[in-house]
Amino acid sequence: MDKGRNNVKKVISKCVICKYIHGKTILSPSSPVLPKYRVCYEYPFESVGVDYAGPLFVRDIYSSSKNMNKCYILLFTCATTRCVHLELVSSFNSDALLLCLKRFISRRGRPNLFISDNFKTFKSKEVKEFLLSRKIKWEFILEKSPWWGGFYERSIGIVKSCLKKVVGKSFLNYEEMNTVLIDI
Protein backbone atom coordinates (compact mmCIF):
# COMPACT_ATOMS: atom_id res chain seq x y z
CA MET A 1 0.00 0.00 0.00
CA ASP A 2 2.85 2.40 0.85
CA LYS A 3 4.62 1.72 -2.43
CA GLY A 4 1.53 2.74 -4.39
CA ARG A 5 1.17 5.98 -2.45
CA ASN A 6 4.88 6.80 -2.87
CA ASN A 7 4.69 6.14 -6.61
CA VAL A 8 1.70 8.49 -6.93
CA LYS A 9 3.56 11.21 -4.96
CA LYS A 10 6.62 10.85 -7.22
CA VAL A 11 4.52 11.19 -10.38
CA ILE A 12 2.63 14.21 -9.00
CA SER A 13 5.86 15.91 -7.81
CA LYS A 14 7.31 15.66 -11.35
CA CYS A 15 4.13 16.83 -13.12
CA VAL A 16 4.61 20.36 -14.47
CA ILE A 17 0.88 21.12 -14.63
CA CYS A 18 0.38 19.98 -11.02
CA LYS A 19 3.31 22.16 -9.90
CA TYR A 20 1.77 25.13 -11.70
CA ILE A 21 -1.68 24.64 -10.15
CA HIS A 22 -0.64 23.59 -6.64
CA GLY A 23 2.68 25.39 -6.41
CA LYS A 24 3.62 27.60 -3.53
CA THR A 25 2.88 31.29 -3.95
CA ILE A 26 5.74 33.71 -4.22
CA LEU A 27 5.99 35.86 -1.15
CA SER A 28 5.93 39.57 -1.83
CA PRO A 29 8.97 41.49 -0.65
CA SER A 30 8.66 43.34 2.61
CA SER A 31 7.64 46.98 2.32
CA PRO A 32 10.39 49.53 2.69
CA VAL A 33 10.37 51.84 5.68
CA LEU A 34 8.22 54.93 5.14
CA PRO A 35 10.05 58.26 4.99
CA LYS A 36 10.25 60.25 8.23
CA TYR A 37 7.91 62.97 6.97
CA ARG A 38 5.14 60.37 6.50
CA VAL A 39 5.16 58.89 10.00
CA CYS A 40 6.39 61.55 12.45
CA TYR A 41 3.92 63.78 14.21
CA GLU A 42 3.83 67.20 12.61
CA TYR A 43 1.36 70.01 12.34
CA PRO A 44 -0.85 69.83 9.24
CA PHE A 45 0.85 70.94 6.03
CA GLU A 46 4.43 70.89 7.35
CA SER A 47 5.28 68.26 4.73
CA VAL A 48 3.18 68.63 1.61
CA GLY A 49 2.69 66.60 -1.57
CA VAL A 50 2.04 68.79 -4.62
CA ASP A 51 0.61 67.79 -7.99
CA TYR A 52 -1.38 69.20 -10.89
CA ALA A 53 -4.69 67.79 -12.09
CA GLY A 54 -6.68 68.73 -15.14
CA PRO A 55 -7.23 70.32 -17.53
CA LEU A 56 -10.64 71.66 -16.64
CA PHE A 57 -12.57 73.76 -19.10
CA VAL A 58 -14.27 76.91 -17.84
CA ARG A 59 -16.40 79.49 -19.59
CA ASP A 60 -15.12 83.01 -20.08
CA ILE A 61 -16.93 85.02 -17.39
CA TYR A 62 -16.86 88.39 -19.20
CA SER A 63 -17.77 87.21 -22.67
CA SER A 64 -21.24 86.46 -23.99
CA SER A 65 -19.79 83.86 -26.35
CA LYS A 66 -19.20 80.31 -25.27
CA ASN A 67 -15.40 80.52 -25.33
CA MET A 68 -13.79 77.86 -23.18
CA ASN A 69 -10.50 78.34 -21.36
CA LYS A 70 -8.27 75.71 -19.80
CA CYS A 71 -7.45 75.78 -16.13
CA TYR A 72 -5.87 73.29 -13.75
CA ILE A 73 -6.10 72.20 -10.15
CA LEU A 74 -3.02 72.39 -7.97
CA LEU A 75 -3.48 69.91 -5.16
CA PHE A 76 -1.63 70.16 -1.86
CA THR A 77 -1.84 67.08 0.40
CA CYS A 78 -0.42 66.91 3.91
CA ALA A 79 1.96 63.94 4.08
CA THR A 80 1.01 62.95 7.64
CA THR A 81 -2.66 63.90 8.09
CA ARG A 82 -3.88 63.68 4.46
CA CYS A 83 -5.50 67.13 4.70
CA VAL A 84 -6.15 68.45 1.20
CA HIS A 85 -5.95 72.01 -0.09
CA LEU A 86 -7.07 72.77 -3.66
CA GLU A 87 -6.20 75.81 -5.75
CA LEU A 88 -7.45 76.67 -9.22
CA VAL A 89 -4.59 77.73 -11.52
CA SER A 90 -4.92 79.34 -14.92
CA SER A 91 -1.80 77.78 -16.47
CA PHE A 92 1.28 75.63 -15.91
CA ASN A 93 3.73 78.55 -16.02
CA SER A 94 5.94 79.48 -13.08
CA ASP A 95 4.19 82.82 -12.44
CA ALA A 96 0.86 81.10 -11.85
CA LEU A 97 2.59 78.51 -9.65
CA LEU A 98 4.28 81.21 -7.55
CA LEU A 99 0.98 83.01 -6.99
CA CYS A 100 -0.62 79.73 -6.02
CA LEU A 101 2.20 78.91 -3.59
CA LYS A 102 1.86 82.36 -2.01
CA ARG A 103 -1.89 81.81 -1.54
CA PHE A 104 -1.27 78.40 -0.02
CA ILE A 105 1.39 79.68 2.39
CA SER A 106 -0.80 82.63 3.40
CA ARG A 107 -3.71 80.33 4.24
CA ARG A 108 -1.98 77.24 5.66
CA GLY A 109 1.38 78.49 6.93
CA ARG A 110 4.90 77.91 5.67
CA PRO A 111 5.70 74.22 5.12
CA ASN A 112 9.12 72.73 5.71
CA LEU A 113 8.98 70.39 2.73
CA PHE A 114 7.22 70.01 -0.62
CA ILE A 115 7.23 66.61 -2.35
CA SER A 116 6.27 66.29 -6.01
CA ASP A 117 6.96 64.66 -9.33
CA ASN A 118 9.56 66.08 -11.71
CA PHE A 119 7.28 68.51 -13.54
CA LYS A 120 9.40 71.17 -15.27
CA THR A 121 7.55 74.12 -13.69
CA PHE A 122 8.37 72.82 -10.20
CA LYS A 123 12.07 72.96 -11.13
CA SER A 124 12.06 76.46 -12.62
CA LYS A 125 14.55 79.10 -11.52
CA GLU A 126 11.85 81.43 -10.15
CA VAL A 127 10.36 78.69 -7.98
CA LYS A 128 13.80 77.72 -6.62
CA GLU A 129 14.51 81.35 -5.68
CA PHE A 130 11.09 81.67 -4.01
CA LEU A 131 11.67 78.52 -1.94
CA LEU A 132 15.22 79.50 -1.02
CA SER A 133 14.08 82.90 0.26
CA ARG A 134 11.52 81.18 2.52
CA LYS A 135 13.80 78.28 3.57
CA ILE A 136 11.50 75.63 2.13
CA LYS A 137 12.92 72.36 0.82
CA TRP A 138 11.46 70.71 -2.31
CA GLU A 139 12.06 66.98 -2.88
CA PHE A 140 11.30 65.26 -6.15
CA ILE A 141 10.26 61.64 -6.46
CA LEU A 142 12.12 59.28 -8.75
CA GLU A 143 11.47 60.09 -12.40
CA LYS A 144 8.75 58.05 -14.13
CA SER A 145 7.68 56.52 -10.80
CA PRO A 146 4.26 57.99 -9.95
CA TRP A 147 3.62 55.35 -7.27
CA TRP A 148 6.23 57.10 -5.11
CA GLY A 149 3.80 59.99 -4.81
CA GLY A 150 0.87 57.73 -4.06
CA PHE A 151 -0.36 59.74 -1.08
CA TYR A 152 -1.15 62.75 -3.28
CA GLU A 153 -1.99 60.83 -6.47
CA ARG A 154 -4.83 59.07 -4.63
CA SER A 155 -6.19 62.43 -3.49
CA ILE A 156 -6.30 63.57 -7.11
CA GLY A 157 -8.46 60.56 -7.99
CA ILE A 158 -10.88 61.39 -5.18
CA VAL A 159 -11.08 65.06 -6.22
CA LYS A 160 -11.74 64.11 -9.85
CA SER A 161 -14.56 61.74 -8.89
CA CYS A 162 -16.13 64.44 -6.70
CA LEU A 163 -15.86 66.93 -9.58
CA LYS A 164 -17.58 64.51 -11.96
CA LYS A 165 -20.43 64.04 -9.49
CA VAL A 166 -20.91 67.73 -8.75
CA VAL A 167 -20.20 69.37 -12.10
CA GLY A 168 -21.23 66.62 -14.49
CA LYS A 169 -21.41 67.96 -18.03
CA SER A 170 -22.15 71.58 -17.13
CA PHE A 171 -19.71 74.34 -18.01
CA LEU A 172 -18.87 76.65 -15.16
CA ASN A 173 -17.00 79.93 -15.23
CA TYR A 174 -13.75 80.42 -13.35
CA GLU A 175 -15.37 81.80 -10.19
CA GLU A 176 -17.96 79.02 -10.06
CA MET A 177 -15.29 76.35 -10.56
CA ASN A 178 -13.20 77.89 -7.77
CA THR A 179 -16.23 77.77 -5.46
CA VAL A 180 -16.87 74.11 -6.31
CA LEU A 181 -13.24 73.27 -5.55
CA ILE A 182 -13.45 75.01 -2.19
CA ASP A 183 -16.64 73.04 -1.44
CA ILE A 184 -14.84 69.78 -2.27
Average pLDDT of span 137-158: 82
Residue 140 lies inside a defined structural domain of this protein = yes
Residue 17 lies inside a defined structural domain of this protein = no
Residue 107 lies inside a defined structural domain of this protein = yes
Residue 7 lies inside a defined structural domain of this protein = no
CA angle 35, 40, 42 (to 5 degrees): 120
pLDDT > 90: percent of the chain: 23
Q: What is the pTM of this model?
A: 0.74
Residue 16 lies inside a defined structural domain of this protein = no
Query: What b/e string do you get for 121-137 counting C-beta neighbours within 10 Å, with b at 16 or more?
Result: bbebeebeebbeeeebe
Give the CATH number, domain containing residue 176. Answer: 3.30.420.10
Q: Express each pLDDT in 14-69 by its tens digit.
A: 887 777 777 676 677 777 777 777 777 778 888 899 999 878 888 877 766 677 88
Residue 48 lies inside a defined structural domain of this protein = yes
Q: Domain limits at 160? A: 36-183
Q: Which of 59-73, 76-90, 164-178 has the lowest mean pLDDT?
A: 59-73
How many structural domains does the chain have?
A: 1
